[in-house]
Chains A and B, each alone.
Chain A
Amino acid sequence: MNLSLSFALSSRLFGSGVDPDAQAYIDAVTSAKGSSPSLLQTVAIDTFYKSAKADGYYTSLKSLYLPIWEVAAANAIDMITLGSGTFVGGVTHAAGYVQGNGTTGKFNMATSFFNQGLSASSGTMFAGRKSVTTGQSVIGSTSNGRGYLLGRTGNIMRTEWIGASGLKETTVTGFDEEGILIASRLSGTMRYHRRNTAGVIDEAIAYADAGTLTNSVESVMNISSTFDPSHYLIFGSALGYSASDIAILSNGLKTLWDNCTTVDTDAAAYIAAVESALGSSITTTQASAIDTFYKSAKADGYYTSLKRLYLPIWASAAPNAIDMIGLTSGTFNGTVTHGAGYVQGDGSTGYFDIGSSMASHGLTPASGWLGAIMKTVIANHQYLGAQNGSSEVELLRHTTTSITTDYNDGGSGRRNSFIANRSGIISASRLSGDMKHFQRKASGRSNIGTFTYADTGSMTSLNAFALAKNSSGVATSGGTSEMGGWWFGTGVSDAADSAFTLALKNLWETCTGLTLP
């Protein structure tokens, strides 16, 4: 993507609200990489600049490098000045970090701490590291009037900063070196800070200000003859910070790196597919909600159970037809209204052909999971599934009094959960001999029916339909209820269904601005 397109994209995403420094950095990265950061990376970068300015630590930042782009020219860009440092020797530019080879690889920053305005009384050095080789140099220089940050074997951190007698060396113990490391000199104190998955630790050591920093280019991954082969995620320098500002800074740096590097790849692929089908960008709010949904689905363990999931909220057939799990496309047939946040059949010709059977995705008589977001509920409506005769049937529907499943029971037992209101997120999970019906509404979730029966019958090989039922190859028993989504998968536990339907509720409501009935 070229710069003009990058600008157009950012402008469309954020309107006039994009931070100008974020835009400048995004443009610089786009130019250096030859392609723009992803939508979610763009959001993360913009959010970082805005947060740093709102939180008050931005003006003290003097350099900040985010070497996640796999391209040296992009990794060398200073987010504060847009100046470029220089990678020297053997450096690997990986997705999310850079890594020196331990013998020659390093990074020379664009300028010195001295030129950045750091002094004996005020200065900050920071770096985020993973896969750490302990006892290595982190950031700084070794000239006489120096400041640098070192790791030391045994979870010892050490700084040397200009002071009486030319330099002042201090050390702290118990600082494992993986995570965001910050050393900040202010108000006669050298404060050490580390943030990682184990939490945050701080320690402060007081000594008098003295001397002047030497004007020499600062390095990362190397000081003197010591080269560090650890993974470097983010690094930079700043004027001195208070303890509270250091905590805010370390959190901001972590959030920036996390959000730029841990974008869910399936979310990014779905967003790209939707945007291509729409011919325009979705909003940042929608993109973030989609990313959050995928991450939650994977973290909570039910993602692998989902086989097909549709979110037909985009008011257009092409994006509405995209499956969030496999990125395949089903086919809308007949008259279907594509509303904002839902689709609606006409009760006669309108239906959605998923394009494959539930059996082909691993559903069995013993294990299945069917569900839908029912925005409105009208009359009888057989809205998800297929039926071939009386014994091969996987079907979710409602009558005027019940939520009903027919799921491979040998034709011997339709399962009805009688409830007065049949809207909301309706789900049915067949697992461990039970068929459980659930309903999630704005007011909460409940198990509206549990039915125990033996596994009998067999799965139909017919394509599953939504908005209507596939009855021996013909769409029948459709309705005009408004549907905000549907899915099927292998059977899940009560807890997994609950976690999923809550995540789906949040996704649908955030993306549509609507509220679940």
Chain B
Amino acid sequence: MIGYIVDETTATSILDGIDAAMDTRGLPRYWTVGKYYIHTGEHSGSWFLPFDDTMLGTDIYRKMTPMDFPEAVAMVESLGGLEARVDLDPSAILDPSVEVEEEVVEAPTP
């Protein structure tokens, strides 16, 4: 998954900025990138902000994508630009302390 590796302060600042962009327009907070703690791997202890092309191409409001909002452009620039994004293995944000439930497998009812 594509996005930025940041510390918690930065992650919180980005999400607060997105909320503020909606608040100043009088809109409900209907969209955000979310922040995800990295549990394992070389970036363990940091936070992940997803900024992949699917997200950046999403219609979030009146045919506008996130990058149609100047606040989002400024955020991306503050994070080093689109070329600074990394590809993180999705398993890195899974909490290893949470036991994965074994699936109950039974033959489907005929």
Contacts and interface: CB of A to CB of B under 8 A. Distances in A.
Contacts of A474: 37, 95
Nearest to A422: B108
B50 A318 contact: no
Contacts of A279: 61-63
Contact of A416 (B28, B50, B55, B106): B106
A278 B58 CA distance: 13
Interface stretch (A28-36, A293-301, A332-340): A332-340
Nearest to B52: A335
Given A399-B104, A416-B106, A419-B108, A331 B59 contact: no
Interface stretch (A158-166, A185-193, A264-272, A345-353): A345-353
A419 B30 contact: no
A404 B94 CA distance: 22
B34 interface: yes
A318 B60 contact: yes
Contact of B58 (A280, A330, A336): A336
B90 interface: yes
A400 B103 contact: yes
Interface string A353-380: 0000000000000000000000000001
B106 A317 contact: no
Contacts of A336: 55, 58
Interface string A231-250: 00000000000000000000
Contact of A348 (B37, B54, B93, B108): B93
B1 A331 contact: no
B41 to A, nearest CB: 14
B27 interface: yes
B24 to A, nearest CB: 15
Interface in B30-83: 30-34, 36-37, 48, 50, 52, 54-55, 58-63
Overall SS of chain B's interface:
loop
A92 interface: no
B61 A316 contact: yes
Given A348-B90, A401-B108, A416-B104, A318 B33 contact: no
A276 to B, nearest CB: 9
Given A348-B90, A420-B108, A317 B60 contact: yes
A416 B101 CA distance: 14
B109 interface: yes
Contacts of A332: 30-32
A348 B38 CA distance: 12
Interface in A455-496: 471, 474-476
Contacts of A317: 30-31, 58-61
B104 A316 contact: no
Contact of A333 (B1, B34, B103, B104): B34
**Which of A317, A336, A419 gathers the greatest number of chain B CB atoms within 10 Å?**
A317
Interface string A413-430: 010101110000000000
A315 interface: yes
B2 to A, nearest CB: 9
B46 to A, nearest CB: 15
A455 B29 CA distance: 36
Contacts of A334: 33-34, 36, 50, 55
Contact of A401 (B94, B98, B106): B106
Contacts of A399: 103-105
Contact of A402 (B32, B55, B62, B104): B104
A131 B90 CA distance: 67
Contacts of B95: 474, 476
20 contacts: A315-B59, A317-B58, A318-B60, A321-B28, A328-B28, A329-B28, A329-B29, A333-B32, A333-B34, A335-B1, A335-B50, A335-B52, A337-B54, A346-B1, A346-B50, A349-B93, A401-B106, A402-B104, A402-B106, A418-B108
User: 8 closest A-B pairs (Cβ-Cβ)?
Assistant: A279-B62, A329-B28, A333-B34, A321-B30, A348-B90, A317-B60, A420-B108, A316-B59
Interface of A: 277-280, 315-318, 321-322, 328-338, 346-349, 351, 380, 399-402, 404, 414, 416, 418-420, 471, 474-476
